A = this chain, B = another copy of it.
Amino acid sequence: MRQWSRSMRAKGKTIGFVPTMGYLHEGHLSLLNEAHKHTQLIVVSVYVNPGQFSPNEDLSTYPSDFYGDIKKLMAVPGGVDVVFHPHNLYDYGNNNCGDDGNGLQKEGMREKDGVVVSCVEDKGLGHETWVRVERLEKGMCGKSRPVFFRGVATVVAKLFNIVEPDVAVFGKKDYQQWRIIRRMVRDLDFAVKVIGSEIVRDSDGLAMSSRNVHLSLEEREQALSINRSLSKAKCAAEKGQVNCRELRNSVIHAIHEAGGKIDYAEIVEQENLESVEEIKSPVVFCIAAWFGKVRLIDNMEISL
C-alpha cells in the first residue's frame, strides 16, 4: 500500500483517503465525492477494526458485504484508485490476538476487575500501543464505550502511516470521532489534512449508518424522532431559545416518547466538545440513543 502511495507521490500526485468499516452506503460515497474535490487519487480502506470494540460490543455482528462494497465503489463518479482491505492490522506474527480480524472475543478477555479491554488486547508480544486523545475521548460516546476512541485514534494512526495520504475525509455524523482525529493529527504532526463531510440522510431524515440495517421497520420509524427533534431544537435555538437544559429536555422527551432509550443528549462546543449551558458560540447537539438492540448516533451543528 505504502509503496503505491510513494510511487504516486514521486510522480507529483496527491492522495485522498477515506477510511471505512465497509458495508458502504450513500454517506460513505459522499465522503469519496468530497475527497475527489481535494486530491487526484483516492484510497478507500475497508476494515472492521477490532481495536475499537470491547468484547461485549457488536464486532461479530457488524455487517459486511465486501463484494457489494466493491460494486458500489466501481460506480463512484471519478472512480477509486485503491481499495485497501487488510486482513488483520494487529497480527505481528508472534501473538495470539486478532487471528481472523473478526469474532476475536475470547472468554478470558471480557471486562474483568473493572479493567475495560478491547478485542485486540493480548499479553506478551501483542499490540500494546494506543493513541489517546485524553480529554476529547472521555465524554459522550466515550462514556459508554471506554475503548472506542482509543481504538479509533490508534487504527487511524496506523492507516495514516500505511497509506500516507495528503487528505483524509471523515463524516461529521461521527462528530466526536472527527474532532478527535483532527486533534490527533494536530498534536502528532501527521502530514494529513483532515476534512469533515456533512451528514447524509435518507429521504425520511434518518442519518445513514451501516447499523441501520439492523433496525426493524417499527424501530426505524421510532428512530426518526432523533432527526425530527434535533431539527426542532435547532429551529427553537435560532428563534431565541438558547437555554441548553430546555433544548435537551425537549429532545430527550421526544425520543423517549417515540420509544427510544437515550444514551446521551449533549450540547457542546464544536471544537472542544465541552458542555455549555447557554448557546453563545457555535455548538453541536449530539445524540446517542438505542432503538431495540441498535445504538444510533446523530448530531446537528447550531451556529447562531
Residues of A with Cβ closer than 8 Å to B? 2, 6, 9-10, 89, 92, 124-125, 127-136, 153-154, 157-158, 161-162, 164, 183-184, 186-191, 271-272
- Structural contact, B124 and A128, CB atoms closer than 8 A: no
Partner of A10 from the list B10, B154, B184, B190 (CB cut-off 8 Å) is: B10
- Structural contact, B124 and A188, CB atoms closer than 8 A: no
Copies of this chain held together in the complex: 2
- Structural contact, B125 and A133, CB atoms closer than 8 A: no
Whole-angstrom distance from the CB of A179 to the nearest CB of chain B? 11
With both beta carbons as reference points, the residue of chain B lying nearest to A162 in the complex is identified as: B189
Q: Which residues of B contact A133 (CB under 8 A)?
A: 128-129
Given contacts A10-B10, A129-B134, A191-B2, contact A186 B92 (CB under 8 A): yes
With both beta carbons as reference points, the residue of chain B lying nearest to A271 in the complex is identified as: B125
A-B contact pairs, 15 of them (CB 8 A): A92-B187, A128-B134, A128-B135, A128-B183, A129-B132, A129-B133, A129-B186, A129-B187, A130-B131, A130-B134, A131-B132, A154-B188, A161-B188, A161-B189, A161-B191
Q: Which residues of B contact A161 (CB under 8 A)?
A: 188-191
Whole-angstrom distance from the CB of A201 to the nearest CB of chain B? 31
- Structural contact, B128 and A131, CB atoms closer than 8 A: no
Distance in angstroms between the alpha carbons of A183 and B125 in the assembled complex = 9
Distance in angstroms between the alpha carbons of A158 and B189 in the assembled complex = 5
Distance in angstroms between the alpha carbons of A167 and B125 in the assembled complex = 22
- Structural contact, B136 and A272, CB atoms closer than 8 A: no
Distance in angstroms between the alpha carbons of A2 and B183 in the assembled complex = 20
Whole-angstrom distance from the CB of A71 to the nearest CB of chain B? 29
Partner of A129 from the list B2, B127, B131, B191 (CB cut-off 8 Å) is: B131
Name, among A130, A134, A154, A188, the residue most crowded by chain B CB atoms within 10 Å (CB to CB). A188
Distance in angstroms between the alpha carbons of A184 and B131 in the assembled complex = 10
- Structural contact, A188 and B132, CB atoms closer than 8 A: no
Q: Which residues of B contact A190 (CB under 8 A)?
A: 161
Whole-angstrom distance from the CB of A188 to the nearest CB of chain B? 5
Distance in angstroms between the alpha carbons of A125 and B269 in the assembled complex = 12
Q: Which residues of B contact A125 (CB under 8 A)?
A: 271-272
Q: Which residues of B contact A184 (CB under 8 A)?
A: 129
Whole-angstrom distance from the CB of A150 to the nearest CB of chain B? 9
- Structural contact, B272 and A131, CB atoms closer than 8 A: no
Distance in angstroms between the alpha carbons of A202 and B158 in the assembled complex = 40
Given contacts A10-B10, A125-B271, contact A131 B188 (CB under 8 A): yes
With both beta carbons as reference points, the residue of chain B lying nearest to A10 in the complex is identified as: B10
Q: Which residues of B contact A124 (CB under 8 A)?
A: 272
